[in-house]
């Protein structure tokens, strides 16, 4: 097994940076919080349900250094034109929304086609990926996109619902909720939804839970928001 199979070149990172956005929300207690979202084409974003549900969206902030900005000016702030909408199962931590005014050809992440029934656990273990998020950074004036490498450590079926979770290690926590996990094979493996906890206390080992792609695709399909670029061509 190769030690470093994950090859992320500058062009890949540039496109990924341009396809990420920070969501600033106001919580019911009036505090502000920042989480991640990512573009999947046609102005459609995915993020975690718990980031948006019950909160007030203050801003969707794109990476100002990329081409992923509003078409009518150079501001990084984007305006939601549809949604947010949620997975039909209230226990599934997926949300989607659409923004208006993106430049033509804006960067997007390719979603994987690995539906849960097709996942072979051994095939994924110890493979590599990259995660994107907006953790709190002391003294930073703006939300800063942070990128980190992770290793896939487990494939888990839970009692919560029928969807597969991946357990990954090596990433910081906080601000990564809703962020994409970009796999070494060139597609989004899933979305970060939570860190592992024991009796309500976060573990110090840095494990994160990643919701696999099937729930994300189902949410988009249910609300007729799946971009044409993400449609799977199934063999006869």
The pLDDT of residue 105 is 81
The predicted pLDDT at position 69 comes to: 41
Q: Please state, in angstroms and as integers, the Cα–Cα distance from residue 229 to each residue in 106, 197, 211, following that order.
A: 12, 36, 21
Asked if residue 158 and residue 81 are part of one domain, the reply reads no
Instruction: Give the per-residue pLDDT at 4.
Output: 42
* Full DSSP string of 130-196: EEEE----TT-SS---EEEEEEEEEEEE-SS-S-EEEEEES---SS-TT-EEEETTSSEEEEEEEE-
What is the secondary structure of 104-129 as a DSSP string? TT---PPBP---GGG--HHHHTT-EE
- Which pLDDT does position 106 carry in this prediction? 86
Same domain, 72 and 126: no
- The residue with tokens 């002391």 is 138
Residues 104 and 114 in one domain: no
Q: Which of 143, 111, 137, 145 is nearest to 13 (CA)?
A: 145
**Which secondary-structure segment (H or E) carries 218?**
helix 213-222
Q: Are residue 63 and residue 124 in the same domain, yes or no? A: no
Residue 172 has a pLDDT of 59
- pLDDT at residue 116, as a whole number: 67
Write out residues in the chain with pLDDT < 70, as ranges.
1-10, 63-76, 116-118, 171-173, 196-205, 234-236
Domain, as residue range, for 163: 110-213
What CATH number is associated with residue 99? Answer: 2.40.10.10
Model pTM?
0.86
Shared domain check, 142 and 58? no
- State whether 117 and 105 are in the same domain: no
Cβ burial 204-225 (10 Å sphere, 16+ → b, else e)? eebbbbbbbbbbbbbbbeebeb
Nearest to 36 by CA among 128, 201, 147, 129: 147
Q: Tell me the three state secondary structure of residue 32.
A: strand
The verdict on residue 140 lying in a domain is yes
All residues at 6 or more sequence positions from 161 whose CB lies less than 8 Å from its CB, including other chains = 89, 91, 92, 215
User: How many structural domains are present in the chain?
Assistant: 2
Query: Does residue 101 sit in the same domain as residue 196?
Result: no
């Amino acid at each position: 097994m190769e030690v470093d199979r994950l090859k992320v070149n500058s062009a890949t990172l540039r496109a990924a940076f341009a396809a990420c956005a920070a969501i600033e929300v106001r919580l019911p207690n009036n505090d502000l919080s920042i989480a991640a979202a990512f573009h999947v084409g046609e102005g459609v974003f995915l993020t975690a349900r718990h980031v948006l549900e019950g909160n007030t969206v203050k801003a969707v902030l794109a990476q100002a250094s990329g081409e992923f900005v509003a078409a009518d000016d150079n501001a990084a702030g984007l305006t939601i034109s549809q949604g947010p909408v949620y997975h039909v199962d209230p226990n599934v931590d997926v949300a989607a929304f659409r923004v208006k005014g993106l430049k033509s050809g804006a960067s997007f992440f390719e979603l994987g086609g690995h539906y849960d029934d097709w996942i072979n656990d051994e095939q994924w273990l110890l493979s590599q990926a990259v995660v994107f998020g907006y953790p709190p950074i002391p003294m930073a004036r703006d939300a800063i996109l942070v990128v980190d490498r992770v290793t896939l450590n487990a494939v888990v079926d839970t009692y919560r619902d029928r969807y597969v979770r991946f357990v990954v290690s090596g990433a910081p926590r906080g601000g990564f909720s809703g962020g994409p996990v970009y796999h070494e094979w060139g597609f989004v493996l899933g979305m970060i939804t939570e860190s592992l906890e024991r009796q309500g206390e976060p573990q110090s080992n840095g494990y994160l839970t990643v919701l696999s792609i099937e729930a994300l695709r189902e949410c988009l399909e249910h609300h007729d928001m799946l971009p044409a670029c993400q449609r799977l061509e199934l063999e006869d």
